Every structure is written in structure tokens, then in C-alpha cells.
Amino acid sequence: MNDLVLEARRLAKRYRRGAWALQEIDLEIPAGGITALVGPNAAGKSTLIKTWVGFERPTRGSVRVAGIDPWQNRSAALGKVGYVPQSPSLYDGLSVADHLDLARQLRPGFDRDYARERLAQLDIPADRGGRELSGGQQAQVALALALGTRAPILLLDEPLASLDPLARREFLHVLTDAVRADGATALLSSHIVTDVEQACDRLVVLGVGRVLLHEGVASALETHSISLAEHPDTVGSFGAPDGSRIYLVRGTAERPASLDEVVLGYLASGRSTAAAA
């Protein structure tokens, strides 16, 4: 596998109704660790992930998964990917064990024992039916199915969106443990910055169909700060909880920025640019 496991080159996606979901995306995700793909609803996160899975065809540009174009050679690309959708698609009439058996039949090399071991860590009974599982348990089953593929690349499309805080924490614990143990690469889409801050190594901020920031989490925190007044190096400004206006600065200002504030500053910048255009 190349050092770059996920690539997008001048990627644009336009739907039939005329709206551009993605515009001129240039993105390179290196091997190893977890990258957070963060942005508001309708930012294009799901569309971007689906182009890598091969579910969406680019209008312009191209994508690569481990050097493979998923639209031209979907089976080869999918062989490198474990995918977790936003809403787990479990069969009501099948037990957890049945889902693992089905995955083994459909996916050559599926490691049923490994997937079952991950679920056992969370005390999810193998004989429990899909309809009997909570939302958090369903998400964990979907993650176990993805991990059981032993794929080197994991694409997770907002799996935390409908989970309670404890379920989100447990999901992230299993994910980070598996990525570190197996040396896999994960792209985790989310709009909940505080949940992914501790788990992720890199950050991609997506807004209005464009990449606004792609940087290591540690670097983003080191190179940004907050100013309480207008600043020449302002990235973007937004409202503080107390009603005041604060400014995200790339450089040194009054105080360090939190990761949430870094994301908000770039989203505000992207919105202003889109409005001006």
C-alpha cells in the first residue's frame, strides 16, 4: 500500500438537482492513525466518504483508495475498506452471531473470532437479535463487522451521531484500541468535536463542500489562539457563549484556542467566503 491511503484530486460532486456537494477537493490522508472529518450537516462529509467507497461517482476529478480508483475497480477498492454507515443496517430477524456468520460468507477472509472478541469486551450477547439491541450496541456491531474484515482502511460515516455520551465513549475506545493494535488507518466523520479530540491524530474541517483545514490535531492547537478583538491574522470570528465576539487567530493572541474553537473559526471563515462568492 502507498503511504497515502486516501486521495482526492480536484474532486467535485454535483447532484441532479444542481447543488454542488463537493467542490475542488484536494486531500491526502497518510497511512496510520485516526483522522477526524469534521463539519456541519450538508458540508459534504458523507458524499466524500461515499466516493471513496464507490457509492458516488465524481462529477469531476478523481479519488483513490490505496492507489485504486473505486469507481473503476470497486471490488479491489472495497477489499481494502471496512465501512460503517451513519445508521447501522442490521437485520431484525438475525442475531449478532448470525450477522457475523453472514459477513464471513460474503467477505472472504472475514475474521469472525476477532469481531466476536471485540463485542465480548462490551458484553453484547451473541444471541441477541438486531431489534433487541440499543442504538449504541447496534453501532458497536457495525464497527465489529468493519473490524472483522481486517481491512487496512476504516471509513466511518458519523457513527456517533445518535449515540449517548457513554455509548460514544465506548465506541471510540474500541476504535482507537483496534487501530493502534492493527496499524490500520481510520477516517471518522463527525460534527461532535469534543468526542473526537482525544481519539484523533489529524483534523480535516469540511465546510460548504470545501476543505477549510487539514492539519495534525497537536499542530492545530499549537498554531492557533483566540483574540478578544479584531486581529490582523484572524482566520474567522464567531459568537462566544457569553454573547461577545471572539476571533480565531493563526498565531499568538490572548489565549490558546480549543479544538472546538479552531473548527468554529474555520467554519465561520468558510461561510463568509461562500457568502461573498
Task: With residue 155 as reference, give the H or E element that holds it.
Answer: strand 153-157
CA–CA dist 5, 66 (Å, integer): 4
* Cell, residue 1: 500500500
With beta carbons less than 8 A apart as the criterion, state whether 140 and 170 touch: yes
Question: Tens of pLDDT along 182-233?
Answer: 899 999 998 888 878 889 999 999 988 899 999 999 999 999 999 999 999 9
* Terminal alpha carbon distance of the chain: 39
Long-range Cβ pairs for the range 210-214 (8 Å, 24+):
210/22, 210/23, 210/24, 210/25, 210/270, 211/25, 211/26, 211/27, 212/266, 212/267, 212/269, 212/270, 213/262, 213/263, 213/266, 214/27
Q: What pLDDT is stored for residue 273 in this prediction?
A: 61
Q: What pLDDT is stored for residue 122 in this prediction?
A: 84
CA–CA dist 217, 196 (Å, integer): 10
Question: Tens of pLDDT along 127-143?
Answer: 988 888 888 899 999 99
Domain ranges across the chain: 4-91+135-207, 216-276
Q: What pLDDT is stored for residue 41 in this prediction?
A: 83
* Cell, residue 170: 465506548
With beta carbons less than 8 A apart as the criterion, state whether 155 and 85 touch: no
From its phi and psi, is residue 134 left (phi > 0), alpha (psi between -120 and 50) or beta? beta
With beta carbons less than 8 A apart as the criterion, state whether 25 and 190 touch: no
Segments of the chain scoring below 70 in pLDDT: 1-2, 272-277
Task: With residue 224 as reference, give the H or E element that holds it.
Answer: strand 224-227
Fold of 4-91+135-207: Rossmann fold (3.40.50)
**What are the φ/ψ torsions at residue 52 (nearest 5 degrees)?**
-70, -30
Q: In sequence order, what are the residues at sequence separation of 6 or more whose Cβ sits closer than 8 angstroms to the Cβ of residue 242? A: none
Strands 33-38 and 185-190: parallel
Predicted model pTM: 0.91
CA–CA dist 112, 223 (Å, integer): 44
